[in-house]
Structure 1
Amino acid sequence: MHLDEGRRAAEAGDWIAAGHAFVRAAMEGSAQGAELATRVTVELVPLADSGSVEAAALLAGIYLEYSHESALPMAVRYARAAAEAGHPAGQRTYGYMLMMGLGVEEDRERAAELFRAAAEGGDAYGRFNLAQLVDDPDESLRLFEAAAREGIVVAGAVLADRLSALDRDEEALGWYVWAAERGHKGAMNAAACWYRDGFGTAPDPVQAVRWFFVMLAHGDGDGIHEAIQLAKAGALDEEQMREAGRLAGDPGAAEALISTVLGDGRA
């Protein structure tokens, strides 16, 4: 969808819209999206050099995330220009460079200032990055939650980790499930293991196997071994395995598990 959107924008000569669409495709794992985003930089440079702050911020992000490291000086140039012009995405990108020492001298204090400005300008990733730098644990949790609710899935997973460290296990499990439902593989594994072991809830082998199945559907086969061990230990019966498959949206995985565990001796 994003690729088509980007191509239509490019055909219309709207290079900024095209760049944003290709970046969204790349963020969802599209290699073609990343390639097309780097191609669009040729069209964005004249716009940025003519004073378009939006183009400068977009260029900085593309150079930083999807281009060869030789483009880092250009990323710094355009990110700094966009940040100085008060563009939230530019502030966030330049802040990230300062936080990590990418092409500039590391300055975490200035990075935090830029992340806060970006967050106040409505940038969700700015909130996520600021959450990692603030000293106040309560503010950090609030920022992670705000970023998550604005669609930054990894923020929900990190929030779960932070809540777990504070022994707020029930809340942590809720956020692991939230992130797992939105495709975060680490959160899928955490949710599965927590349901298996009874962290934040009573042990629930059906939910555990459900998330192990979802991991498998996302290309991570590690969880299926855990599912087999649970089933072989008698934690689930045949119908519960099917329920786990139904919840995962993968009845075939349940039938494969039943066949593996019960074989010809199943009821």
Structure 2
Amino acid sequence: MHLDEGRRAAEAGDWVAAGHAFVRAAMEGSAEGAELATQVTVGLVPLADAGSAEAAALLAGIYLEYFDESALPDAVRYARAAAGAGLPAGERTYGYMLLEGIGVEEDHARAAELFRTAAEAGDAYACLNLAQLVDDPDESRRLLEEAARAGVDVAGVLLADELSSLDRDEEALTWYLWAAERGHTGAMNAAACWYRDGFGTDPDPVQAVRWFFVMSAYGDGDGVHEAIELAKSGGVDENQVREAGRLANDPAAAEALIATVWGG
């Protein structure tokens, strides 16, 4: 979908829209999306040089993510320009470069200032970044929740981790499940283990195996091994495994597990 959207935008000469679409495709694992994102820089450079802060911020991100170190000076230049224009995405990108010392000298204080400005303007990833820098735990949780509610799955995981450290396990499980439903395999593993062990909920082996199956379907083979161990220990029976497979929309995984553990 994103690739088609990007191609249509590129054909119409809308290089900013094309770049955003190709980057979204790349973030979802498309190698073609990453390649096309590098190609649209040809159209973005004139726009950025003419003063488009959005094109500059997009260019900086593409140079950082998909080019080698030779592109760093341009990434810095365009990120600084977008930040100077007050564009939240530019402030967040340049702040990240300052935080990590990527192409510039590290400056955590300035990075935090840029993240805060961008976060106050509604940039979800700036909220995520700032949450990991502030000293106030309440503010950190507020920022993580704001980022999560804007769709940043890793923010939900970090929020769950913080809530767990406070023994607010029911709330933590809610956020692990939220992130798991959005494809975060670490959250899937956490949810499965918590259902298995009864953290934040009563033990529920069906839900545990369900999330181990989903985790495996997303490419994390540890899910299969954990499900097998749970079945071998007597934690689930064949009917429960089949129900877990149904909930995971993966009945084949259930039958494979049954064949492995019970021989049929």
TM-score by length of 1: 0.96
Aligned equivalents of 1:55, 1:224: Cα separation in 2: 44
Q: Which residue of 1 aligns with 2:58?
A: 58
Structure 2 counterparts to residues 91-106 of structure 1, below 5 A: 91-106=91-106
Q: Does 1:12 align with 2:12?
A: yes
Q: CA deviation at 1:254?
A: 0.9
Aligned equivalents of 2:219, 2:139: Cα separation in 1: 35
Q: CA deviation at 1:166?
A: 2.0
**Equivalent residue of 1:183, what SS?**
coil
Q: What is the letter of the counterpart of residue 257 of structure 1?
A: L
Structure 2 counterparts to residues 189-208 of structure 1, below 5 A: 189-208=189-208
Q: Which residue of 1 aligns with 2:171?
A: 171
Structure 2 counterparts to residues 40-119 of structure 1, below 5 A: 40-119=40-119
Q: CA deviation at 1:66?
A: 1.4
Structure 2 counterparts to residues 134-145 of structure 1, below 5 A: 134-145=134-145
Q: Which residue of 1 aligns with 2:209?
A: 209
**Equivalent residue of 1:106, what SS?**
coil
Structure 2 counterparts to residues 128-167 of structure 1, below 5 A: 128-167=128-167
Q: Unpaired segments of 5 or more residues in structure 2? A: none
Aligned equivalents of 1:118, 1:246: Cα separation in 2: 43
Q: What is the letter of the counterpart of residue 9 of structure 1?
A: A
Aligned equivalents of 1:234, 1:54: Cα separation in 2: 56
Aligned equivalents of 2:63, 2:126: Cα separation in 1: 18
Aligned equivalents of 2:209, 2:93: Cα separation in 1: 39
Q: What is the letter of the counterpart of residue 177 of structure 1?
A: L
TM-score by length of 2: 0.97
How many residues are paired up? 264
Comparing 97-106 and 220-229, the one that deviates more: 220-229
Q: What is the letter of the counterpart of residue 148 of structure 2?
A: A
Q: What is the letter of the counterpart of residue 189 of structure 1?
A: N
Q: Unpaired segments of 5 or more residues in structure 1? A: none
Aligned equivalents of 1:68, 1:39: Cα separation in 2: 14
Q: Which residue of 1 aligns with 2:225?
A: 225
Deviation per CA, 1:141-182: give whole Å up to 9, x if none. Answer: 011011011011111111111212222221111111111110
Runs of 4+ in 1 over 3 A off after TM superposition: none
Q: Does 1:21 align with 2:21?
A: yes
Aligned equivalents of 1:35, 1:158: Cα separation in 2: 31
* Percent of pairs with identical residues: 81
Aligned equivalents of 2:106, 2:162: Cα separation in 1: 25
Q: CA deviation at 1:61?
A: 0.9
Deviation per CA, 1:239-265: give whole Å up to 9, x if none. Answer: 11111111111111111111222225x
